[in-house]
Structure 1
Amino acid sequence: MSPGPNLSSYEVLQEESAWLAGAAAGLLTETDVVGHILGIRVPPGQGRGAFYHGLMHTIPEVRFLTIFAGDQDDNALSQRVATTQIGEGADIIFTMLNAGLIGVTEAMRGTKTRQIGNVIDWTAVEPGIFVASAVADAGIPRVEAVRDLADGQWQAGTVKAIGLEKPAEVSLALSSDVPADVRAEIDSLRNQIVADRITVATDYDGPELAP
């Protein structure tokens, strides 16, 4: 973020929805093995660390399988990586991919493994595959900036963060088959993040799978 005397910055806190996704994965896993697949090391990769910390919050004894596979759009690659993680026992895999998400989805068909998507609500697209989705509207900063300017609220030299306090922009979508007690716990954790009782960390220095 680079605020200045004649500009301001708007930041979508994708890591907050990723943290909740990790917490949900910990509450939902039956094998105590959870995976994560991202293509390349771009800045949104901090969502991996947030997901990890959310996961540790609800199931600290979990086995975490994580990899930067090397390509966001290669479906053959992502399907192979997902198949490997499923073979290692993962029953939930968090994906932060572009077109490569399709390969992971195909790897899961006919298995009990569920996927957690990101950016949009993938549970509305394929509810049988996606158990949750870390929603983060990357386009909302433009809307917020225009709204602030129109309302006379825009201020130069500031950074405006948009997180879980605005659930229409940042949230964790859950599939309809997620149990009520898990939903209640996720709601509680969300409220604690919004109230600053939980700090969302984005660091990760643990082991990674080789691509």
Structure 2
Amino acid sequence: MSARIEVVLFGPEGRGSFNEAGNAGAGRARDAGHGVTVTWIADPAPEARAIALLALCERGADLIVAHGGQGDYPVSIAAQRFARQRFVVTQGSVRAQNVATYDALQEQSAFLAGVLAAHVSQTGVVGHMSGEKVPPGLKGRAAFLDGVRSAETGVRALTTFCGSQHDPRRAFDTFAAQQRAGADVIFAMIDGGRDGAIAACRELGIRQIGNVLDWTVRAPDVFLASAIADSGRCVERAIADFRRDAVPFGGAVTFGLAERDVVRLALARDVGHAARAQVEAWGSKLIDGTVRPGLQYEGEEFPVAA
């Protein structure tokens, strides 16, 4: 009998590259013969997400895969109330005996994005923006800023969280504010709000570094690079592991730059040889462990656009 597996995506249905990756991973698992159902939870409030997940637990499933750090809080609540229910959180940090995390190390590609931004900026100012302050976003931000610092080019970095992964207007306004402050390259870790960030780049004449998927293919006029961390591969792998009784509940599975189909920095064609060489050199150090991205940032934050 096929296992009943629920994949939970947080955000407006059908929007955002992060959820696109998760949905694609669920689709590949379904195509491989696994019994996978996808459920979308659109409400952005953590409490509402927890209530929706608890309702899903009441209906019963052999495995619930919560996609993204937004799943940390609802799974932490549900895992206590449903001790026999088994969960996976992708890009998560929750720890419990009935929960496993599967993590594409976004911080490694984000670090390389910082190195690249520092080497290509013409203004001496680069930016970072994201939406919600969930652990993967905080780690990615810290790693990007660590990459900027490590490049030792003297470039200054701005950083902010606009409060929503899915709001194009907030993304546009935040990009515009950072551009007015001098940023000519901005690393954006957002989802449904990506269209606003792209529109800002085209209107203001600045370049963007994307994440999760390869944005240099989708909008080559805008994207200088993309810090790929294909979390959909985590969904796919977790489901395959579950079917062979290999999920390390209470533990974690990680994928880094050594798995290039999961984690890498994709570069646009117009990135010069010198900058490419820097990315290659730092990437080798990350793979062999001689460099590890910083995962905490306690410095100043750029004011959020009104």
Give the TM-score normalised by the residue count of structure 2. 0.63
Deviations 1:57-79 (A, max 9, x none): 11352221111112222222221
Alpha-carbon distance in 1 for matches of 2:147, 2:211: 15
* 1:186 Cα deviation from its structure 2 partner: 0.7
Alpha-carbon distance in 2 for matches of 1:164, 1:126: 23
Alpha-carbon distance in 2 for matches of 1:78, 1:162: 29
Pair member with larger Rg: 2
Q: Unpaired segments of 5 or more residues in structure 1?
A: none
Q: Which residue of 2 aligns with 1:122?
A: 215
Q: Unpaired segments of 5 or more residues in structure 2?
A: 1-92
SS of residue paired to 1:139: helix
Q: Which residue of 2 aligns with 1:169?
A: 262
How many residues align structurally? 210
Deviations 1:81-119 (A, max 9, x none): 111111111110011111212112111214441000101
SS of residue paired to 1:127: coil
Alpha-carbon distance in 2 for matches of 1:74, 1:208: 20
1:202 corresponds to 2:300: no
CA RMSD in angstroms, aligned pairs only? 2.1
The partner residue of 1:29 within 101, 108, 121 is 121
SS of residue paired to 1:98: coil
Pairwise mapping of residues 140-159 of structure 1 onto structure 2 (< 5 A)? 140-145=233-238, 158-159=251-252
1:190 corresponds to 2:190: no
Q: Which amino acid aligns with 1:23?
A: V
Q: Which residue of 1 aligns with 2:160?
A: 67
SS of residue paired to 1:208: coil
Structure (1/2) with the larger helix percentage: 2
Alpha-carbon distance in 2 for matches of 1:47, 1:161: 15
Alpha-carbon distance in 2 for matches of 1:108, 1:73: 17
Aligned identity (percent) is 37
Q: Which residue of 2 aligns with 1:41?
A: 133
Q: Which amino acid aligns with 2:136?
A: P
Deviations 1:24-75 (A, max 9, x none): 1011111110011111111221200000000111135222111111222222
Q: 1 or 2 for the larger relative contact order (CA 8 Å, sep ≥6)?
A: 1
Say whether the 8 Å CA contact 2:176–2:204 is kept in structure 1. Answer: no
Alpha-carbon distance in 2 for matches of 1:153, 1:71: 35
Once the two structures are overlaid, the 10-residue window that deviates more, 168-177 or 184-193, is 184-193
1:55 corresponds to 2:148: yes
Alpha-carbon distance in 2 for matches of 1:98, 1:203: 22
Say whether the 8 Å CA contact 1:27–1:59 is kept in structure 2. Answer: no
Say whether the 8 Å CA contact 1:13–1:162 is kept in structure 2. Answer: yes
* 1:163 Cα deviation from its structure 2 partner: 0.6
Deviations 1:155-187 (A, max 9, x none): 666532211110110010110110122112211
Alpha-carbon distance in 1 for matches of 2:158, 2:224: 18
Alpha-carbon distance in 1 for matches of 2:245, 2:167: 45
The partner residue of 2:187 within 85, 91, 94 is 94
Say whether the 8 Å CA contact 1:40–1:72 is kept in structure 2. Answer: yes
Say whether the 8 Å CA contact 2:142–2:297 is kept in structure 1. Answer: yes
SS of residue paired to 2:301: coil
SS of residue paired to 2:108: helix
Give the TM-score normalised by the residue count of structure 1. 0.89
Change (3 A) 1:207 1:7: closer
Say whether the 8 Å CA contact 1:3–1:9 is kept in structure 2. Answer: no
Once the two structures are overlaid, the 10-residue window that deviates more, 7-16 or 201-210, is 7-16
1:18 corresponds to 2:110: yes
Alpha-carbon distance in 2 for matches of 1:32, 1:196: 29
Change (3 A) 1:153 1:103: closer
